[in-house]
Structures are given as structure tokens and as C-alpha cells.
Amino acid sequence: MLDRIDKYMIKGNIVNIQRFSLHDGPGIRTTVFFKGCPLNCVWCHNPESKLKDIELAYYRELCIDCGNCKDICTMGCHTISGGAHHIGRKNCVVCGKCVNACPKSALEMIGSESPASEILTETLKDRAFYNNSGGGITLSGGEPLYQPEFALELLKLSKENGLHTCLETSGFTGYKNLERMIPYTDLFLYDWKETKENLHKKFTGFSNNLIHENLLKLDKAGAKTILRCPVIPKYNDREQHYIGIAELSKKLANIVEINLLPYHTLGSSKCESIGRAYPLSSLPSLSDEEKKKRTNIIQRITDRKLLWVDHNM
């Protein structure tokens, strides 16, 4: 039974709720993907969570060119000609009429406003799986701390109802936002994207100074962390970056493990669906032998537990 379900009605914008997640913290988890992120990572694999506002997605492979969307749209956003479907997104007011009119689910609204209590009600349906596996709820995104009040309320409700909590964050926020989450977060999944400040700014749009400072403050406060490091060939796949990861981990008294996350191309099709260009060209995948070489660089410097996790960037 969810406690104080009606006492607070703080709402947030989320992309979706993913049940039975296996790589977003320990055990079987439910991952809540927040909408909105302040960084501009060139390799982002969740571009639909970049903007905080609701967006319209279009999936060409499902479209049958029936014209229902064109007929119902009062803003004239849909044009269908010669098998090509064009969406004039500048005029779109994301009213959702075209989505409801589509018979094949080729159109979708990305993002929905939900109260924290409603999300917890959905999450608690899988309590038995959490109890058996040591799992719980994970806040991800996007960036959960882009909506700090909503994130805090969801974490509070989760702890009041006995759930293990994880918060995945880029750390690019005011420390006060992070500090408020500590009492209600069992484990921080903390992104470390690039060691060199100038390259971090080039790849994400911002310096990593604040991210580094916040991580050290979290550790000093006793917060448990997993350092999550995306590995992007031709970008941060350099020996000096792996050395930086290792050296950083040695500064952390409360680190649980290091995760290396190999690049994948999910962001490409997602960008296409929301009408954005994907910034990366084709990148090579790392072989098992190449992964082992990267692992060895880190483990020569630190004995922290290290895992390759083929999951979020």
C-alpha cells in the first residue's frame, strides 16, 4: 500500500517507465526516464530526453500514408507526397490530435506529465521482484536533477515505501540539488564522460569542473557511487582518459565500482524520429581484445571493481 499517495502532487515530465531493467543498479529495477538535460553530448543515445518539453515522434516504418494526420491537423504540419511524409515541426503545437488519428501508431507523443505518486504506484507493482533480487527504482534520463523537486519527491516516496533507490546523474547541477538527494538515494550512478576539461566542453558543451567538484563532495558526504564511463571510439577512447578514470576512482572512498559503457547507435534512429540530425558518423565497435586492453590500463592503476556494461550512455 502506497503511503501518503494523495498528500503531495508534485508533477514531472518523463519519457517513459521501463520495467525489469538489469543494468541501472543492482537487481531487477524499474527505471524512470526523466525528460530534459542541460548537456549536449554528441553521442547521446536518448536524444528524445534532451528537451524538457513534450515532442512529436514519427516512425516511417509504421506509416501507411493514410493521410489521417494531415486531415486532422489544423496547423498544416503534415504533408504527404510521393511516399514521403514531411512534418513541419515549427508549426506543431503538440496537441496530439494526429497521434490519436493514426491507425498504426506511426506517431507518438514523447513525454508526459505525471505526479510522483502515480509513478510509485506503477513501480510498486513489481515489489516482489525487487525483494527477491535486491532491486528497486532508478531515476534516469535525460537528467533527473533538471527537475530537482520532482526527483526529490519521487525518491522520498520510494524510501517511505521501502524501495532501494538509484539516481543516475551527469553531476552537472548545483551541489545543493545533489546534497538534498543524499538521504533518499542508496546509490548514485555518476557519469564521467571525459577527463580533459577542454574535450569535455567540446563533446558536451560544458566544462567538467562542476561535475568533478560535485563528485568529490558527494563522496566526502558518504554517498555510494558507481562511476559510469561511456567509451566512444574517436572521441574519448584514449589511454590518458582511462588513466584519468583510474586516478579519479582512487580519490573516492565510497565508490562501489567502475562501469565502462560501450558506444551503440540507438541515438541515430531516435534522432530521425524526432526530426533531428544525428551528429556522429559510423563509429567502430571495440572487440573483446580491445576492451581487455582498456581494462588493463585502468587496473594497472587501481584495484577498483570494473565492469563493461552494454547499456546507457
* Residue at a domain's end among 92, 110, 128: 110
Question: Looking at residue 153, what is its pLDDT?
Answer: 97
Let me know whether 174 and 272 are in one domain.
yes
- Cβ-contact 226, 140 below 8 angstroms: no
Domain assignment of residue 2, yes or no: no
Let me know whether 232 and 116 are in one domain.
yes
Domain assignment of residue 268, yes or no: yes
Question: Looking at residue 138, what is its pLDDT?
Answer: 98
Let me know whether 122 and 144 are in one domain.
yes
Domain assignment of residue 159, yes or no: yes
**Residues 9, 12, 16, 20, CA torsion sign:** negative
Q: Helix (H, G, I), strand (E, B), or coil: what is residue 306?
A: strand
Number of H helices, E strands in the chain: 11, 13
Q: Cα Rg for the chain, rounded, in angstroms?
A: 21
Q: What is the CATH number for 265? A: 3.20.20.70
Domain assignment of residue 56, yes or no: no
Domain assignment of residue 313, yes or no: no
Query: In this structure, what C-alpha cell is assigned to residue 313?
Result: 550512455
Let me know whether 133 and 67 are in one domain.
no
Amino acid in the structure at residue 184? Y
Domain assignment of residue 196, yes or no: yes
- Distance (Å, whole) CA 284 – CA 261: 14
* Residue at a domain's end among 110, 127, 144: 110
Question: Looking at residue 313, what is its pLDDT?
Answer: 43
Give the alpha-carbon dihedral of 25, 30, 34, 38, to 10 degrees: 10
Let me know whether 201 and 233 are in one domain.
yes
Domain assignment of residue 137, yes or no: yes
Go through the chain and tell me how many residues it has: 313
Let me know whether 129 and 76 are in one domain.
no
Look-up of cell digits 496537441? 95
Question: Looking at residue 9, what is its pLDDT?
Answer: 73
- Distance (Å, whole) CA 5 – CA 141: 24
- Cβ-contact 198, 192 below 8 angstroms: no
- Distance (Å, whole) CA 313 – CA 306: 16
Let me know whether 213 and 270 are in one domain.
yes
Q: What is this structure's pTM?
A: 0.93
* Residue at a domain's end among 70, 95, 110: 110
Let me know whether 68 and 206 are in one domain.
no
Let me know whether 294 and 264 are in one domain.
yes
Domain assignment of residue 219, yes or no: yes
Query: What backbone phi and psi angles, to 5 degrees, belong to 19?
Result: -90, 160
- Distance (Å, whole) CA 57 – CA 220: 42
Let me know whether 97 and 117 are in one domain.
no
- Cβ-contact 46, 35 below 8 angstroms: no
Count of the separate structural domains present in the chain: 2
Tens digit of each residue's pLDDT, the chain (313 residues): 444 444 557 899 999 999 999 999 999 999 999 999 999 999 998 999 999 999 999 999 999 999 999 999 999 999 998 878 999 999 999 999 999 999 999 999 999 999 999 999 999 999 999 999 999 999 999 999 999 999 999 999 999 999 999 999 999 999 999 999 999 999 999 999 999 999 999 999 999 999 999 999 999 999 999 999 999 999 999 999 999 999 999 999 999 999 999 998 888 889 999 999 888 877 888 999 999 999 999 999 999 999 999 864 4
- Cβ-contact 245, 21 below 8 angstroms: no
Q: What angle do CA 6, 94, 167 make, to 5 degrees?
A: 50
Let me know whether 230 and 302 are in one domain.
yes
Let me know whether 222 and 238 are in one domain.
yes
Domain that holds residue 257: 11-51+112-308
Q: What is the CATH number for 75? A: 3.30.70.20
